[in-house]
Amino acid sequence: MSDSSAYADVHMQIMWNRLISVVEEQALTLVRTAFSTSVREAGDLSAGVFDRSGRMLAQAVTGTPGHVNAMAEAVAHFIRIIGEDNIFEGDVYITNDPWRGTGHLHDITVVSPSFKNGKLVAYFACTAHVVDVGGRGFGPDANEVYEEGIFIPIMKFAKRGEVNDDLVNIVRNNVREADQVVGDIYSLAACNETGHNRLIDMMTEFELEDLEALRDFIFENSFKATMERIAALPAGSYENTMRVDGYGSPVEMVIRLDVSDKGVLADFAGTSASSPLGINVPMIYTKAYACFGLKCALAPDIPNNAASLQPFEVTAPEGCILNAVRPSPVAARHVLGHFIPDVVLGALHKMLPDQIPAEGASALWNIHVSARPVMNAPVSSSGGRFRRAEILMFNSGGSGARSQLDGLSATAFPSGVHTMSVEATENVGPIVVWRKELREGSGGAGEYRGGLGQVIEIGATEGHEFHFNAMFDRVDNPARGRAGGLPGAAGSVALNDGTKLRGKGRQHVPAGKRLVLHLPGGGGRGEPARRLPELVERDITHGYISADDAAKHYKR
């Protein structure tokens, strides 16, 4: 390589790094301005910059892979439906279409074209999970998408800088938390505006009139690096099956990975048919998490963009639960969607047995609480003693044990979202989180122990009761261990008086009662007898396992 060529590559790498910082600042704008705790506290969002064709150039590290990788496909839908001849400076586009966005109505995606000197140079896109979209509320009980809330097709939120007030008014009158939802939409638009401003600053500094040369550098290097990783793998077909609880009947998730010098095909043929209830997954979300699972194992250090995703192809039979068609109910699509990486990793274990972790809790234990005053107590919209509120909490079980390390406790893999703080959650509505602690003994035993789940206890404040939408799994089918490791503990849902509740669906917690959740643990890896004695003693000391657990599983 000549000195001039090396210099050019270094120059391009500097601009690539700068572009990543642009989208990171874009995402942080959304975190700082969002109204919903799911965005502000948990980071349930995505942000990225795209070329003029709608191909993702760079994504923010802040955010979730389900949002990011679904958004990577969504922008092209925006361009096609809006029409290239109808895209103007100052426009802002919006949708929560589950099949062209990120899989369910609770995620709003906003796309904004970026112009420099009157010329379209890029698009910015971002997604956020909003607390409420009307309908039944965030839960799995609907039989059609029409019941799940307001459906915003791909359309203009703003045209040449003028906001569509009719759309804002329609949204405001169809959701329970109007200020939060409308505020989040404006936050999404502001997020993209920040990305645009920083991009123009960057292009001005580097004297760029377009991004074509930088795009080609990013795509060529990302694709080449990913294909090199795939070429080093043993070619062949690798299969895996996972059973999860489902809703009313268990779901079989089946995958076959075909690995060749052309790339990796993930085929979900054999997976259970669509459900009559809202746990179905649109294909755009299935692709997002299947690609994430593949990249985590095969090319984790290669930046995520259109080119590094290109070698991965994902298919599923139309009408199966991982390729649900409209108008299937999809509100709780994340439950099965979050299992997809573990299904992928199970197949990869057949190819790379020494590298793949055990199964984890995987699916978030999201809970949507609808708190209400009892006995027709007066409602105060100004935050007085009695009030109504919609409250969303993200909680995580344990991840699976890794090849040389224990699993992570109370960790959101694969979604990567944070748990909202108790203080922030209690500030939103009239509830008290009485207990939130690691669940002793919930990690599967093994040479490397599975991560622990949690115990969470929630009650309403005096004068209130609440309904909650359960979207839980691994109650009947705990995370499996690997290479001789034992399964993690199953989850459970109950009242504090011992009354058992269901893992999915809308249920009632009367005034004076508390909801008690035992979140599942991750599976262990390796034979328990091989665990080092000092690690067993450490687990007992820290309260991760009891002395009885040690005697039972580790013969200590």
- Structure confidence by residue, pLDDT tens digits, 123-155: 999 999 998 999 998 999 999 999 999 999 999
CA–CA separation, 389 vs 412, rounded Å?
A: 25
Rounded to the nearest angstrom, the gap between the alpha carbon of residue 55 and the centroid of all alpha carbons in its chain is 21
CA–CA separation, 444 vs 448, rounded Å?
A: 9
Pairing of strands 45-50, 56-59: antiparallel
pLDDT in tens, 307-335: 999 999 999 999 999 999 999 999 999 99
Host domain of residue 204: 3-221
Mean pLDDT of the chain: 94
| The total number of residues written for the chain in this structure | 556
Tell me whether residue 403 is in a domain.
Answer: yes
Pairing of strands 464-471, 431-438: unpaired
How many domains, in total, are found in the chain?
2
pLDDT at 39: 86
Give Dmax (Cα) for the chain. 80
pLDDT at 239: 97
Q: Are 405 and 356 in contact (CB under 8 A)?
A: no
pLDDT at 42: 82
Mean local confidence (pLDDT), 261-270: 96
pLDDT at 217: 96
Strands (E), 117-250: 119-129, 155-159, 162-163, 236-244
Q: Residue 337: CB partners within 8 Å, gap ≥ 6?
A: 66, 103, 281, 285, 286, 288, 289
pLDDT at 38: 83
Q: Are 114 and 124 in contact (CB under 8 A)?
A: yes
Tell me whether residue 154 is in a domain.
Answer: yes
pLDDT in tens, 85-97: 999 999 999 999 9
pLDDT in tens, 399-416: 999 999 999 999 999 998
pLDDT at 1: 52
Q: Are 283 and 322 in contact (CB under 8 A)?
A: yes
With a cut of 90, say whether residue 236 has pLDDT above it.
Answer: yes
Tell me whether residue 273 is in a domain.
Answer: no
Nearest to 33 by CA among 197, 194, 199, 184: 184
Confidence of residue 376 (pLDDT cuts 50, 70, 90): low
Confidence of residue 377 (pLDDT cuts 50, 70, 90): low
pLDDT in tens, 511-542: 999 999 999 999 999 999 999 999 999 999 99
pLDDT in tens, 468-505: 999 999 999 999 999 999 999 999 999 999 999 999 99
Tell me whether residue 478 is in a domain.
Answer: yes
Strands (E), 60-190: 92-95, 107-116, 119-129, 155-159, 162-163
Tell me whether residue 142 is in a domain.
Answer: yes
CA–CA separation, 459 vs 466, rounded Å?
A: 8
pLDDT at 40: 83
Pairing of strands 312-315, 263-267: parallel
Pick from 164, 186, 221: which residue ends a domain?
221
Tell me whether residue 433 is in a domain.
Answer: yes
DSSP code for 107: E
CA–CA separation, 393 vs 501, rounded Å?
A: 18
- Tokens representing 61 are 């590290």
- Tokens representing 119 are 């010329």
Tell me whether residue 329 is in a domain.
Answer: no
Tell me whether residue 226 is in a domain.
Answer: no
From residue 317, alpha-carbon distances to 33, 65, 295, 323, 341 in Å are 40, 23, 23, 6, 18
DSSP track, 303-359: PPSHHHHTTEEEE--TTBTTS--TT---TTHHHHHTTHHHHHHHHHHHH-TTTPPPP
What are the b/e assignments for 59-97, b being 16+ CB within 10 Å?
bbebbbbbbbbbbbbbbbbbbeebeeeebeeebbbbbbb
Nearest to 453 by CA among 427, 472, 466, 425: 472
pLDDT at 262: 93
pLDDT at 6: 65
pLDDT in tens, 34-64: 988 888 888 888 999 999 999 999 999 888 8
From residue 403, alpha-carbon distances to 163, 273, 296, 400, 514 in Å are 52, 34, 14, 10, 39
Is the model more confident about 26 or about 385?
26
Pick from 221, 236, 255: which residue ends a domain?
221
pLDDT at 382: 45
Kindly state the helix (H) or strand (E) to which residue 501 belongs, with its residue range.
none
Pick from 201, 221, 241: which residue ends a domain?
221
| 3-class secondary structure, 505 | strand
Q: Are 117 and 298 in contact (CB under 8 A)?
A: no
What are the b/e assignments for 419-451, b being 16+ CB within 10 Å?
bbebeebbebbbbbbebbebbbbbbbbbbbbbb
pLDDT in tens, 427-456: 889 999 999 999 999 999 999 999 999 999
Mean local confidence (pLDDT), 214-219: 97
